[in-house]
Chains A and B, each alone.
Chain A
Amino acid sequence: MTGLFSEVFLSALLFGAVTAAIPLLLAGLGEQMSEKAGVLNIGIEGMMLAGAYLGFVGAFYSGSLWLGFLTGAAGGVAVALIMALLCVRIGLNQIVIGIALTLGLEGLTALLHHFQFSRSYPRLPAADATVIPLLSDIPVIGPAFFKHHLIVYLAVALVFAMSYLYRRTQLGLNLQAAGDKPAALDVAGIDVIRTRTIAVLTTGALAGLGGAYLANVGAGLFIPFITNGAGFLGIVLAMLARGRPIWVLFGALLFGVCLSLTTAMQVAGINIPTDVIQMLPFLAVMIMLVLFGRRASLPAALGIPYERGAR
């Protein structure tokens, strides 16, 4: 028990928290963009799985993590393309198609993994960390936050890029309008379908990247159903963040700490079922909602397909 709060343990815990938070962050940021544009993207779990599998395969055969991230993002985009086609272009029910895609990708990635690797689970070498000079020398915080793979810093930078996009650019406003009042956007001469398609495809890329990070850096291998609900957590984060990217980051870190705590408790040999700790982040958020529950500011046209001229 004395080792529980040692410096090494604490920084390992926080390091694990960041590693666990990054896939959630990417999924949450992606989902946020879809939701802003009025598309409830329940297929994000499937996009993450596609990204995890293709990302792993890419990295495994090429030996390059970056190529793996690229194939992972491409996998997510491929699934998002189906979603965009079915739900944005021809307006099928987003919940039906989203769940169908999630189920299908769960099955498909497990199937492909089975036929490609049989029952072996090959591992990737550990990812090289980009050590940030000076900052990484701070005790506890340094090794926890400043010795990660480069993509982690990029993901955090993306939070601010997204904030800029939503606040300061035309595209950001278009996305917002596509979710709040698509008819107005249409009247302004901007293609709603195209705006929403852009949002869904970006979601796919980010979710795929998140999945690839989860498999290649977080776990170092692919196992079927590896995302284990991370996509749904992304949906929760996006909805809780009320359109602000920075809150996705905070939320992802909160969930990351709890996930990392689960592993840490097991290592420390503390005799609590891991399920108890897994409940903590949800419990925290539910309590927050009960205490401060105000009307969530979801886009007005969320989940409703846009059809020009329809009432």
Chain B
Amino acid sequence: MSIDTAPTASATALDATSAAATRRDILHRLLMTLGPILIALVIAGCILLAVGVDPLAYYGFVLEKGLFSPLGIQQTLTRMAPLLFLAAGLIVAFRAGMWNLGGDGQFLLGAVTAAASAPVLVEIMPAWLALFCSFLIAMVVAMIWSLVPALLRAYQGVNEIITTLMMTFLGTSFANVLVKLAFRDPSTTVPQTRTLPVEDRLPRLFDTTITSGLLLGLATIIIVHLVMTRTSFGLKLRIVGANPRAAVHSGLGVPGLTVAVFAISAGLAGLAGAVDIIGVQGNVRADWNPAYGLAVIPAVFLARMNGFAAIGFVFLLSVLSIGGESAARRLGVPNTFTLVLVSIVLIVLALAEYVDHRYHQSRKA
């Protein structure tokens, strides 16, 4: 598992003597990201042409609605908030070599518990405290949800891909059960939780519609990045990820660290759900499942588990999904085209990285 290339690269980059090299490195990174995206857009454009849609008009809408219109960019930045939390959680897990593929279940349970607790709590305590408590509850519930896979992996060696996948199926259903049976708003006919009044939600930034959850998300992912790269705790987790046996031999408490990794990763996914509900949605409808996790996993990989790069990829994902939604309504291309576009972008980016890697290797040799 090639997990530890990114931190060493960024550590050497901080060396003051190599400022020019750093600039070249950043330029190179940027080129290696934008180039493949352009290629992916061309390939996806060919698919649009094949089904009889003008690709230029489509991309025009995506850019306009996702990036350049004031409303669009605000929606894009708002969408980033939950994705950043999810990405932060995945960075912790993947760097420690644990495949937490249960993000969607943890996200939904966090969302549902936040949606259930926030409207009740705001009535009995100051709004800021109520929101804080709902965040806490969402985080703890998601942590508890990850406990079974964590303990099974830590003490029985049961593969966490199976268990987290199963817990995510369980969690999605369980979240629905909670919405339909336990936390259902009695005053509506459609099954959904009580709606948190707009004035009690997370404040919006300045005069925009951007949720302040964005700042929380940015702060979280940067903190996670620094913890993973600059602290002894992060180093321990990376050792567990790089070679669990060596970690045992160097005296690390691997089972305890495993449980901690799952708790942090799931807790952040739960916070992602809470930030989406308390900041944006206000309630959870039955059968609501945005399935963000599936799109964020490859993005985190392509960012090489680097927090700053992940912010860039999350931004890209948000532009594509917000812009794609508007373009779908205008041009009659189903929303699902966004999935095709994201998929092609991911594959071309992965390929470009491979080609780049090969090129460097052959130059070294």
Contact = CB atoms under 8 A, between A and B. Distances in A.
Nearest to B178: A275
A289 B164 CA distance: 12
Given A95-B297, A97-B347, A279-B174, A104 B340 contact: yes
Nearest to B153: A293
Contacts of B333: 111
Contacts of A5: none
Interface string B87-117: 0000000000001000000000000000000
A236 B166 CA distance: 8
Interface stretch (B25-33, B77-85, B155-163, B208-216): B155-163
B354 A100 contact: no
B340 A108 contact: yes
Nearest to B166: A282
A114 B337 CA distance: 11
B334 A293 contact: no
Contact of B174 (A275, A289, A295): A275
Contacts of B162: 235-236, 239-240, 289, 296
B169 A86 contact: no
B298 A275 contact: no
B6 to A, nearest CB: 14
A285 B166 contact: yes
B156 A294 contact: yes
Contact of A93 (B158, B174, B301, B337): B301
A286 B166 contact: yes
Interface string A87-122: 000111101110111111111101110110000000
A218 interface: no
B176 A275 contact: yes
B126 to A, nearest CB: 35
A103 B177 contact: no
A176 to B, nearest CB: 18
Contact of B347 (A100, A236, A273): A100
Interface string B281-316: 000000000000011011001100000000000000
Contact of B343 (A101, A239, A278): A101
Nearest to A235: B165
A281 to B, nearest CB: 9
Nearest to B295: A103
Contacts of A298: 159
A242 to B, nearest CB: 10
B173 A96 contact: no
A108 B43 CA distance: 13
Contacts of A276: 173, 177
Contacts of B86: none
A256 to B, nearest CB: 15
A5 B277 CA distance: 43
A289 B158 contact: yes
Interface string B148-189: 100010001111011101110110011011001100000000
Q: Which of A86, A275, A286, A294 has the most CB of B within 10 A?
A: A275
Contacts of B351: 86, 92
24 contacts: A92-B351, A93-B350, A96-B302, A100-B343, A100-B346, A103-B343, A107-B336, A107-B340, A111-B334, A229-B169, A235-B161, A276-B173, A279-B173, A286-B148, A286-B163, A286-B170, A289-B163, A290-B152, A293-B156, A294-B157, A296-B157, A296-B158, A296-B159, A298-B159
Given A294-B157, A294-B158, 15 more contacts: A86-B350, A93-B301, A95-B301, A96-B298, A96-B301, A96-B302, A99-B298, A103-B294, A103-B339, A104-B343, A111-B340, A285-B166, A286-B166, A295-B156, A295-B157
Interface of B: 1, 47, 51-52, 99, 148, 152, 156-159, 161-163, 165-167, 169-170, 173-174, 176-177, 180-181, 294-295, 297-298, 301-302, 333-334, 336-344, 346-347, 350-351, 354
Q: Which 5 residue pairs spanning A and B have beta carbons closest together?
A: A104-B343, A107-B339, A107-B340, A110-B336, A293-B156
